[in-house]
Amino acid sequence: MFKTYDQQQESLLPISIKEFLWKTHEAVLLNDVVDGLDLTSLLKTYKNTNWGTTAFHPKMLLKIIFYGYMNQTFSSRWIAKKLHSDLGYMYLAANNKPDFRTINRFRGERLFAVKDIFRQIVLMLKDLWVIWFWTVSLDGTKIYANASKEKNHTEDWLDKMIETLLREAQEIDGKEDEELWDKQDNIPEELADPETRKQRIKDALEKLKNTKEFVADEIAEKEKQGIKQEKINTTDKDSRLIQMKHKDFANGYNMQIMTENQIVLTTSISNNACDAKELIPTLESFKKEYGERPKVLLADAWYCWWDNYEYIENEGIDWYIPLQGEVQIDLNNYEYNQEEDSYKDREGNVYILKQYVGLQRRWRAKKGERLKEWEYKSKLYRTTLANSRKKFLTIDDKRHKYYGIFKEKTTKKAWKKILSKRKIDVETVFANIKHNLKFSRFSLRWFNKASIERDIVCIAHNFKKMFLLNVI
């Protein structure tokens, strides 16, 4: 009537976990790909010594970490638990059971070689004709840091708190030396009695609170005087308070990725909220890693910055980056005299140079300092006719130049189709990383370790895409 059901039945021979997984299971495919990688750079981080216990194989630890990030598991504790219950993890680990400390130390201390692994995977996909380094898309997103914004303090605040705590510690040490010099193992009567102990703790906390308020008031007074200090987070010193995607302010990082065919080619992070300043470093990183440059670059208007356009043109890359705003003046209606540096309109009004306006630099020039022409954004011209309708003419040479170039690109029939590729390409990658993989916060702290985790999650995305395309 029923099939045999016996939970006490033991197998005659050891069971192979692979028999429970189908041939195209993610764990099986991941295992085959990692086995084919050159892990020399990772193995070099281990010292070949003849003392101490043997280490878990780095290939095994690498596989379970990649598999964890592919399946929304970023905590080393949860990965360690999965090794006892999930067949995919058990297969990749070959029934090894490293604890969470081993997994976490390996991820934070050994995986600086993950950049080389990332590069090998991208080049493998290029050999498989999944990507070509032809039309690439660039974009950035904000990822929460593993730090609370309540831990942001100025250097003055930290210095005074350290000084206060050290002074209190010295006072307590001196008092205890006087009272307990001959009975070091005994507890003072004040601390032995519960009532007096509570009062002493309460007094200490009140004193600390008053110190914090005093330092905060002093810093506020300095800021009123125009002396503004950058705040440092005591949990993650490299993170900065930036506006996140949902318009909230929190400590985080700006993560940049360059993609093609929804494959991440290169990535970087910074604590700078402005995307425009990240274009050149990301392209430099791409060129350094692969020894070549893409043919076409797509990005949104947040990357509109004249230095970016100049760099892209010098590199010989075709670009589609819209400019922010419109150019109000059509220079086709004006005749430029290069010798006199003046403009003449169709009515015969002549505009002569009056001054340079709009500093390129964020800070102002020092008193008595004479800035160079290129340090200003634009030129202001004034008409020579008193009764002219338009008295002033503001010309931004670079803006007009690149606006004209981009306008010429828009005359091509396929320009809208080319520009629309960016949304399908790079935005889809961020959607997968944040929504499907549930990665919205770094687990590791500081630039060097956050960079490791950034590469791991991008590799996890590339694996997911690779298996979806059935290229192996």
> What φ, ψ does residue 3 adopt, rounded to 5°?
-70, 155
At residue 367, the pLDDT reads: 47
Q: For 135-146+237-325+410-441, which CATH class?
A: alpha beta
Provide the pLDDT for residue 362.
45
pLDDT at 118: 94
Token pair belonging to 155: 């250097």
What is the token pair recorded at 380? 């202001």
Q: Which long-range contacts (CB under 8 A, 24 or more apart) does 338-345 make?
A: 342/381, 343/381, 343/393, 343/395, 345/390
Taking residue 258's Cβ as centre, other Cβ atoms within 10 Å add up to 26
Q: Are 144 and 76 in contact (CB under 8 A)?
A: no
Provide the pLDDT for residue 298.
93
Regions in the chain scoring below 50 on pLDDT: 184, 215, 362-365, 367-368, 374
pLDDT at residue 136, as a whole number:
94
The pLDDT value given to residue 53: 76
Break the chain into its structural domains and give their ranges: 17-46+54-117, 135-146+237-325+410-441, 152-178+187-233, 331-363+371-396
Q: What is the pLDDT of residue 297?
A: 93
Over the stretch 268-315, which tens digit does the pLDDT of each residue have? 998 888 888 899 999 999 999 999 999 999 998 888 888 888 899 899
pTM over 0.85? The answer is: no
